[in-house]
Amino acid sequence: MTYEQEYLTDLLRASLVASEPSEAFGEKIDWDKFIKLSWAHKLVSYVYDTIVKVPGIPDNVSKFFTQKTVTMVKQNFRLLFWAKKILDSLEEVGVDAVLLKGATAAVYYPNMLYRKSGDIDILIFDEGKIADVHRQMESLNYKKNETQSALHHVVFSNDEGIEVEIHTMLAEPFDNMKVNDKLDGLKNGIRESIVRKDIMGIEIPVLREDYQAFELLLHMLQHYLRSGFGIRLLCDWVVFWNSDISEKFADGYGSLCDEFGVRQFSDMITRICIAKLGLDKDKAERIISTGLKDSLTDEDIDKFWDEFWTAEEFGKSSANRMVNLQGSKKSAYIKEFHHQMHLNFPKAGKCPLLWPVLWVITLVRFLINNRRIRKVSLRDVLKSAGDRGRLNEKLHIFEDIS
């Protein structure tokens, strides 16, 4: 790790647990690199309270962190206002819905207004009422975006530039039909477990804590299996499990991990957060499994930690970070390519007779986009995917689904 990465980690750890930073890297830091690193990972507001207290911090650094944090605070107020307004509007027409991430994750932070939120995510449970959702969104002056890139959520925007994602599933489809079917079946249990939480004096419908933890994990996994994600999503994990989550909900979360075959991924995330970001080991041990095959070593944990630094926010660090494989064999490449075909052609992909044609179209589109838009070679994309695929073999994702 660079000095800048070590220093940002130390400041972040102190900020997440409301303590003093332990290291004195100030004199070794290239502040221009530090600003660039903090901004790339969207962690500026997260460490604001800590970094402005650093003795001798350059004025330009203090000014940058202050300005960006003030902007984030204003944005979070706007998003909370609109989230409440939209949820109330949906409730008026009988649409059961909950707020995902955003303010529901921010409440666990020492200062919830410092958590970055870029949009509003809302989960509805009845796809048959999507027309009611459209009407209510239009009544609030939100328009459906012309381009929609997902299968199970619709994006709306207003004139203020605020985006709202209306989800009909807890996560977008994975390349495992059994997992997707289980996610669909999970909605009834979630719907019966909606709780209302006071967030800054506003009552918001949210997921119960076992389901909330599972949604946070699925969100990380979804990004991880595509282009990857950076350090920021780990912060939600630290503050969530450092809070007073009951034994009952911790056990419920563990059962969901076992049912969906993601326990090893959960363990990796949790162990990194303990080692690097201040997650309380005693509280976290409740969700760490024992006796799993090919247990992760400390060296493995460091490799995954480096992967998160390399990815930056949502894998935006380079154009070749497009997909992530669940192995390094040829079958892993074929499986991911087939999954991409289904994502590109969700309706036509249901007909096996059309698969050969859809495969060709998917490949041609992929090659053209690489050359014209991403400016990256197929070789670089495959090498990046293969390198990460070898690391992923340690996680046994979706294996041994109960």
pLDDT digits (tens, 9 = 90+) for 296-355: 788 888 888 988 998 877 555 444 444 555 555 666 567 666 666 666 777 777 788 877
The per-residue pLDDT of the chain, averaged, comes to 85
In a domain, 282, yes or no: yes
The total of other beta-carbon atoms located within 10 Å of residue 132's CB is 17
- Model confidence pLDDT, tens digit, residues 79-92: 999 999 999 999 99
In a domain, 19, yes or no: no
pTM above 0.85, yes or no: no
Whether residue 266 is found in the same domain as residue 225: yes
Whether residue 331 is found in the same domain as residue 304: no
- What pLDDT, on a 0 to 100 scale, did the predictor assign at position 318? 41
- Of the three residues 207, 226, 243, the one that is the final residue of a domain is 207
Whether residue 342 is found in the same domain as residue 305: no
- What pLDDT, on a 0 to 100 scale, did the predictor assign at position 353? 82
- Of the three residues 317, 342, 367, the one that is the final residue of a domain is 317
Whether residue 218 is found in the same domain as residue 195: no
In a domain, 228, yes or no: yes
Whether residue 172 is found in the same domain as residue 272: no
Whether the Cβ atoms of residue 301 and residue 275 lie closer than 8 Å to each other: yes
- What pLDDT, on a 0 to 100 scale, did the predictor assign at position 399? 83
Whether residue 119 is found in the same domain as residue 188: yes
- Give the residue among 340, 113, 357 at the shortest CA–CA distance from 225: 340
- What pLDDT, on a 0 to 100 scale, did the predictor assign at position 320? 41
Could you tell me the CA-to-CA distances from 326 to 156, 183, 257, 389 in Å, in that order?
Answer: 33, 19, 17, 5
Is it the case that residue 384 has pLDDT exceeding 60? no
- Of the three residues 181, 207, 233, the one that is the final residue of a domain is 207
In a domain, 176, yes or no: yes
Whether the Cβ atoms of residue 314 and residue 219 lie closer than 8 Å to each other: no
- What pLDDT, on a 0 to 100 scale, did the predictor assign at position 393? 78
- Cα 41 to the center of its chain, rounded Å: 13
Whether residue 239 is found in the same domain as residue 313: yes
- What pLDDT, on a 0 to 100 scale, did the predictor assign at position 61? 93
Q: What is the mean pLDDT of residues 344-372?
A: 73
Whether residue 223 is found in the same domain as residue 296: yes
- What pLDDT, on a 0 to 100 scale, did the predictor assign at position 336? 66
Instruction: Using DSSP bridges, classify how beta strands 163-167 and 120-124 pair: parallel, antiparallel or unpaired.
Output: parallel
End-to-end CA distance of the chain: 39
- What pLDDT, on a 0 to 100 scale, did the predictor assign at position 322? 46
Q: CATH number, domain at 187?
A: 3.30.460.40
- Model confidence pLDDT, tens digit, residues 20-67: 887 666 678 899 999 999 999 999 999 999 998 888 889 999 999 999
Q: Which of 194-198, 289-293, 314-318, 378-382 has the lowest mean pLDDT?
A: 314-318
Whether residue 153 is found in the same domain as residue 185: yes
Q: What is the mean pLDDT of residues 146-155?
A: 72
- What pLDDT, on a 0 to 100 scale, did the predictor assign at position 317? 41
Cα 260 from Cα 375, distance rounded (Å): 37
- Cα 264 to the center of its chain, rounded Å: 17
DSSP secondary structure of 21-83: -----GGG--HHHHHHHHHHTT-TGGGHHHHTTSTT--HHHHHHHHHHHHHHHHHHHHHHHHH
Cα 151 from Cα 362, distance rounded (Å): 16
Whether the Cβ atoms of residue 266 and residue 287 lie closer than 8 Å to each other: yes
Whether residue 269 is found in the same domain as residue 166: no
Domain that holds residue 312: 208-317
The total of other beta-carbon atoms located within 10 Å of residue 71's CB is 12
Whether residue 160 is found in the same domain as residue 220: no
Number of structural domains (the chain) is: 3
